[in-house]
A and B are shown apart, each in its own frame.
Chain A
Amino acid sequence: MISDKTLPASTLPSASANLARPASRPLALAKALVFIACLLPLARTAWIVVDGQAVNPIEFITRSTGTWTLVWLLATLAVTPLRRLTGWNVLQRFRRLLGLFAFCYAALHFTTYLWLDQFFDWHAIVKDIAKRPFITVGFAALLLMTPLAVTSTDGWLRRLKRNWGRLHRLVYAVAILGVTHYWWLVKKDIRQPLIYAAVLALLLGLRLYWRARPARHAAQGRPTT
C-alpha cells in the first residue's frame, strides 16, 4: 500500500491522540455541529412522541434510543479506520464526543426500560436481566460502557497512562454485545440487525487485518542469506 509509511503501526486506541489540545476555531465549530447533530435523533423522537404520532410511544422511545446507541457506537469505532484510510488525523478529535453520545443514548435507553416500560418493577427487572439473554447482554454492554464514560476525561487519560488504552478496548466487547442484544430481540426479520452486524464486522475486521499484517510479513520474511 502506498500510504503504508504514513500510518501508525498500532490500531489500538491511542491515548495521546485523544488528549485535549487547544482547539482551533474551525475545529471548535465542527465539534459544536457534531454535538448538535448527535442531539437531533433525540429531538426527533421527542417530537414524534409529543405530537402523538407514535401509537406505542414507550416502545418507540425504547427502539429509537437503542438504535441510535448502536449508530453512535459504530461511528465511534469507525473513527480510527477512517483516520487510517484517509489520513485525516483530525477525525480523532471527534471520537470522545461520539463515544459519550453512545453512552448517553444507552443510558436513556436503559432509563426508558427501567422507568417507562417496567416502572421500577424490580422483581420483573431482575428476572428479565437474569433470564432473558437479550436483556442480559444489553445490560452487560451498558455496565461495560460505564467505566469508559467515567474515564473519558483528560484527567483519567493521564492518570491511567497505558492502562487507559487497555481499558478502552472494552468498547469492542460493548459493540459486539450491543449488536447481539438487537439481533436476539428481533422476532423474525433480521435485516436491520444484520446491517449493524456487517458494519461492526467490517470495522473490527479492518483492525484485525491491520494487526495481523505486520506479523504475517515477518513470518513470510525471506531468509537472510
Chain B
Amino acid sequence: MLIQKPSDIPPSEITPEAVYLNRRSFMLGAAGLLLSAETLAALAAKKSPLSTGEPPNSLKDITGYNNYYEFGTDKADPAANAGRLKTRPWNVVVDGDVMKPRSFGIEELLKFPQEERIYRLRCVEGWSMVIPWIGFPLASLLKQVQPTGQAKYVAFETLQRPAEMPGQQRRVLDWPYREGLRLDEALHPLTLLAVGLYGNPLPNQNGAPIRLVVPWKYGFKSIKSIVRIRLTDKQPPTSWNLAAPDEYGFYSNVNPAVDHPRWSQASERRIGEFFKRKTLPFNGYADQVAGLYRGMDLRRDF
C-alpha cells in the first residue's frame, strides 16, 4: 500500500514499529490516514522544546484505551461509541471576567500556530502514556479575550449532547463535565489546548475537536470536547471533585506522596511496559511548575 506523505511530517507521525508489526492496527491506522487526507488536512505543527524525549505510545494504545465517560465507562467504550459525535460546526464560548468575551469557531482555533508537544499523561488510576499532541498554549487564547483583574480561575465545560454521547444518558457524573484551573496554571506555557494527535486531528475518543492538556495533573483534569471557557473570581466546581470530594481534589497535581484513598499513587504502569515505574512529583514537570504551589500544603490541597 502506497501512501504519499508530505516531507514535513514529524517523526512521531510515522507509524511506530509496534503498530506496524500489528497488521490489523496498521490497516486501521492506514485507513485513518487516508480518511484524514481526504476530509481533513494533516496538521502542520512545529516541534517544541517542551516535548519529552521518551518514546510515544502507539496510536492504537492512545486511541483504544480511554477514559471518556460521555461515551461509556469502559476503556474500550469511547473508541466504540464516539463515532456519532459531530464536531462540526463547533464553537467555544470564552466569557466571564474578560474584556472581550466572544465565541471562537473551530476553524479559527485551528489557525492558531500549532506545536507538537510530546507529553507524559498520568491517569489517576495508576497508568500512564506518552502522547504526541498537536495544539497551542491556552495562554494564547486567553490573551485574545483579555482577562480582567477580577479573574482568578478558569472554568471549562464539555459538550452536553446525550444523543451523540450515549454515556450522558445515565447520570454517572453530573453532566456536563466540568473542570477548572487557577489562572496562573491556565497561563502556564505547558498548559495546552490540543486539536490533534500524531500529526492528525484529534480522534473523537480523545476529545475532538479541542481539549485541554495539563501534563502535571492527573488526566481527568484535561477536559475534552470543550464548548465553554469561563473566567471567574471563585474556584469553579469540578466534576470528579463533586462526585467524590475526598478522592479527587481541585488541584489533583500528580503526587506520589499523596495516595488516592483506595490505591497507591507511588508508582504507575506505563502502557506497554511490564514493570511499574516510580511516579514523579508533578509527573516529572516539577522544574517547570512546582513554583506555582510554593507555600501550599499539597497534602491538604491535593
A residues near B, CB below 8 A? 52, 55-56, 58-59, 116-119, 124, 127-128, 132-134, 184-185, 187-189
Contacts and interface: CB of A to CB of B under 8 A. Distances in A.
Given A58-B269, A59-B269, A119-B276, 15 more contacts: A52-B22, A55-B60, A55-B64, A55-B65, A55-B271, A56-B65, A59-B127, A127-B264, A128-B263, A133-B262, A185-B262, A188-B69, A188-B172, A188-B173, A188-B243
Interface in B232-277: 243-244, 262-264, 266-267, 269, 271, 274-276
Interface string B271-302: 10011100000000000000000000000000
Contacts of B172: 188-189
Contacts of A189: 69, 73, 172
A55 B73 contact: no
Contacts of B275: 119
A48 B22 CA distance: 14
Contacts of B244: 188
23 contacts: A55-B60, A55-B65, A55-B271, A56-B65, A56-B127, A56-B269, A58-B269, A58-B274, A59-B127, A59-B269, A118-B276, A119-B275, A124-B266, A127-B264, A132-B262, A132-B263, A134-B262, A184-B262, A187-B73, A188-B173, A188-B243, A188-B244, A189-B172
Interface of A is mostly: helix
For the complex of A and B, 4 pairs with smallest distance between CB atoms: A55-B65, A189-B73, A55-B61, A189-B172
Contacts of B69: 188-189
Contact of B264 (A58, A59, A128, A134): A128
Contact of A56 (B263, B264, B271): B271
Interface residues of B, number: 24
Contacts of A56: 65, 75, 127, 269, 271
Contacts of B276: 117-119
Interface in B55-97: 60-61, 64-65, 69, 73, 75
Given A119-B276, A132-B262, A188 B73 contact: yes
Interface of B: 22, 60-61, 64-65, 69, 73, 75, 125, 127, 172-173, 243-244, 262-264, 266-267, 269, 271, 274-276
A119 B275 CA distance: 8
Nearest to A55: B65
Nearest to A188: B172
Nearest to B167: A189
A99 to B, nearest CB: 29
Contacts of B262: 132-134, 184-185
A128 B264 CA distance: 8
A116 B61 CA distance: 20
Contacts of A124: 264, 266-267
A55 B60 CA distance: 8
Nearest to B261: A132
Instruction: Give the one of A59, A128, A133, A185 with max B CB within 10 A.
Output: A59
B125 A187 contact: yes
A87 B64 CA distance: 48
Contacts of B73: 187-189
